[in-house]
Structure 1
Amino acid sequence: MTKPHFHFDHVGSYLRPQELKTARENFAAGKISREELQAVQDKLVKELVDHEVENGLQVVSDGEFGRSWWHLDFLWQLIGLESYLQEDSYKFHGAKTRTTNVRIVGKLAENPNHSFYRDFTYLKSITPEGVTPKVTIPSPSLVIKRDHRSDLYADYYDSWTDFLDGLAQAYQDTIKHFYDLGARYVQLDDTTWAYLIQQLEDNKNNPELRSEFEQIAQDDVYVINKILEGLPEDLTVATHICRGNFQSTYLFEGGYHTVAKYLGQLNYDIFFLEYDDERSGDFAPLADIWNNRPNVELILGVITSKKPELEDVDAVIARIQEAAQSVPLENLGISTQCGFASTEEGNILTEQDEWNKLQLIKSITDKVWG
């Protein structure tokens, strides 16, 4: 194992405290300044980190308290992208999101003034010694033929490959900037693989459409590995593969078999994989990742962040043992299947429910890995 394996980890987002929601509303209404909003956010992030450490986490996040969306707040601050309101919202099962989206308006580049740098610098400053502060940002795959975000690439690039290379460079420069600020753990959150699982399954009898989605998968592998190439050796880069997480609902379903051959090509150190219900399929595809990357850590999202009810300890341990038939136990860890609040609305549970879930994960981790 060349990178640390914590076994007990968390995807990253936490429910926004009401004090933060109120401050954001007051800022939007012009009642408080950005500095006053920032002061409230910093105070609450400090309280959050203290709770994370108290609950045994060796990796902490800022809960994504500085953003409204898990992905869009990051993307629309990259040079060459802008926010806009689209006609339709994202159709989750039983819920609709806001209509905000992002689109290309120029050549892509790292933004040296990105607000996420400031948020990470603060997180690092309050993280106790021996604990790792984690950066969470969306995967570049969210820009590649997803929700019309790359439709206008030809207005700014000579070819599709030039666009992919430009996207990769913007991301690598961004990650290196985080590294220069002291980040040693960066996570790229990704819903595209779940989207492709759904599309490849739905179009299995349509060779032409299936080929289009397979090309998207190949492009995603190309860009992600280009980003990861040549990064510092002591930087851990993870990914979280998500099927959608909005107010306790979801977007996609299907097992990993369809995309396992692509996941096995990705040069990540850690994979967070959703396994909280039947939508996720079985553990057999884990071997396709591990066989190509024997040092990888595969974190099983066998605890749901969507509901407050606590899982049965023995049942979870049995699932871990089942997964260990496909890959060594030492290469496994557990987490909630996603964060608790991928958008500021949050899932339908309480802050105490969050800590109950994490305490459950910690107790199971101690039993299984010691």
Structure 2
Amino acid sequence: MSQRTSPPFRADHVGSLLRPPELHAAREKAARGEITRDELKAVEDDAIREVVERQRRAGLRSATDGEFRRASWHMDFIYQLDGVSQSDERMEVRFHNAAGDLNFSPPKLQVDGKVGLREPIFAEHFEFLKSVTDPSVTPKLTIPSPSMVYYRGGRAAVDESVYPDLEDFFTDLSAAYGAQIAAMGELGCRYLQLDDTSLAYLNDPNQRELVARMGGDPDTLHLRNIRTMNAALEHKPEGMAITTHLCRGNFRSSWAAEGGYDFVSEALFNELNVDGYFLEFDDERSGGFEPLRHVPKGKYVVLGLVTTKRGELESLDSLQRRIEQASKYIDVDQLCLSPQCGFSSTEEGNDLTRDEQFRKLERIVETAEKVWG
């Protein structure tokens, strides 16, 4: 067993990080018109420089910009696709936590034009990240998977006058994502992650019922999503590693779905053409490791054993035991370690401190060195 020199790394992380107080304050001032866009960008730049250095000091081999320029992990990207806009209507999403339920009411999205990509999204974000990342560290860009454009709204969100045949929508969506992937490769991106909640949500019978109520086929939607992603992945340039992160919801330390990976695992691991899978396994809500038996040789699973929902630090022994349990179903050399999700999928962030966040990242590096050398 050995450390890996290409992504995903033995010690890795999902992407989003808690925003520092000065960034929160600057965003609020910008929203009130008290500072300019350029002044906000200067604060963002400084915050990103600092957090990239903190990732390097923690011992990580990859670094993100913490998604510090975004309000949301996915919508800031999706609304920049041609043909996608924000609806006047709102959707209701119920999140759960130990204290009870939390309602989230974001605007719905609508596909009211032909889906396309006029110019690469987050290109400037990535170029800045690359410019401030140490040569020993790989800059990583995280974007929502194509599944996220369709999952929440279903057929009703796709204008039938624009796309009478839904297959044409998926073809255009794949092409737009393919162009994004190719463009990021030209900018020097060697580590790209497609964040996907749909493939995790579909393991939950309640979520499959929701898909059926929206007129979709809950038994085959994961196969449709995998085909759409694979069509985009055909544009992957040589030397780029692409992973996906499966999440059951992450908003202010709360979640939306439950259930193991059994329902999607065979197709997910054998048909989706990614290099690695970031999977959350931080509690019983995520199910057992048994589905990992379907992972073929040559692919990697990044075990999300360290929770981002709470500040308590996992012990080295407990993490080693969990990795050992997982290795009963998959070769330990195909495993890596990370937090179960981002620390701040939306700008509000989860209920822990920045110091607790970095202690968790350091613990992941410490554990990976113990397990893989």
Is TM more than 0.5 here? yes
Structure 1 range deviating more: 337-346 or 17-26: 17-26
**Residues 151-189 of structure 1, C-alpha deviations (whole Å, 9 max, x = no match):** 324221341111111000001101111111111111000
1:100 CA drift (Å) = 2.7
1:199 CA drift (Å) = 3.3
For 1:82, the equivalent position in structure 2 comes to 85
For 1:221, the equivalent position in structure 2 comes to 226
Structure 2 counterparts to residues 265-280 of structure 1, below 5 A: 265-280=271-286
1:5/1:15 CA distance change after superposition, 3 Å: closer
Please state whether the residue corresponding to 2:157 is helix, strand or coil. Answer: coil
Q: Residue 36 of structure 1 aligns to which amino acid in structure 2?
A: E
For 1:282, the equivalent position in structure 2 comes to 288
1:246/1:305 CA distance change after superposition, 3 Å: same
Q: Are 1:46 and 2:57 matched, yes or no?
A: no
Q: Are 1:183 and 2:183 matched, yes or no?
A: no
**TM-score, reference length from structure 2:** 0.92
8 Å contact from structure 2 (residues 154, 215) kept in 1: no
Please state whether the residue corresponding to 2:321 is helix, strand or coil. Answer: helix
Structure 2 counterparts to residues 249-328 of structure 1, below 5 A: 249-264=254-269, 265-288=271-294, 290-291=295-296, 294-328=297-331
Quick one: distance in 2 between partners of 1:37 and 1:280?
38
Quick one: distance in 2 between partners of 1:177 and 1:150?
31
**Residues 173-219 of structure 1, C-alpha deviations (whole Å, 9 max, x = no match):** 0111111111111100011012211137865xx99999811221121
**Residues 27-50 of structure 1, C-alpha deviations (whole Å, 9 max, x = no match):** 111111101100100010000000
8 Å contact from structure 1 (residues 81, 106) kept in 2: yes
**Residues 131-168 of structure 1, C-alpha deviations (whole Å, 9 max, x = no match):** 11001000111122423476324221341111111000
For 2:352, the equivalent position in structure 1 comes to 349
8 Å contact from structure 1 (residues 274, 302) kept in 2: yes
Q: Are 1:337 and 2:340 matched, yes or no?
A: yes
- Specify which of 16, 20, 26 is matched with residue 17 of structure 1: 20
Quick one: distance in 1 between partners of 2:63 and 2:332?
23
Structure 2 counterparts to residues 15-164 of structure 1, below 5 A: 15-93=18-96, 94-112=101-119, 114=121, 116-148=122-154, 151-164=157-170
1:315 CA drift (Å) = 1.6
Unaligned runs of 5+ in 2: none
Structure 1 range deviating more: 310-319 or 89-98: 89-98
**Residues 254-310 of structure 1, C-alpha deviations (whole Å, 9 max, x = no match):** 00111112212101101000000001111111121x22xx11110000110010001
Structure 1 range deviating more: 160-169 or 145-154: 145-154
RMSD: 2.2
Q: Are 1:193 and 2:193 matched, yes or no?
A: no
For 2:244, the equivalent position in structure 1 comes to 239
1:230 CA drift (Å) = 4.0
8 Å contact from structure 1 (residues 144, 220) kept in 2: no
Quick one: distance in 2 between partners of 1:201 and 1:235?
33
8 Å contact from structure 2 (residues 155, 214) kept in 1: no
Quick one: distance in 2 between partners of 1:332 and 1:305?
20
Please state whether the residue corresponding to 2:244 is helix, strand or coil. Answer: strand
Structure 1 range deviating more: 299-308 or 214-223: 214-223
Percentage of pairs with the same residue = 41
Q: Residue 71 of structure 1 aligns to which amino acid in structure 2?
A: H
**TM-score, reference length from structure 1:** 0.93
1:232 CA drift (Å) = 1.4
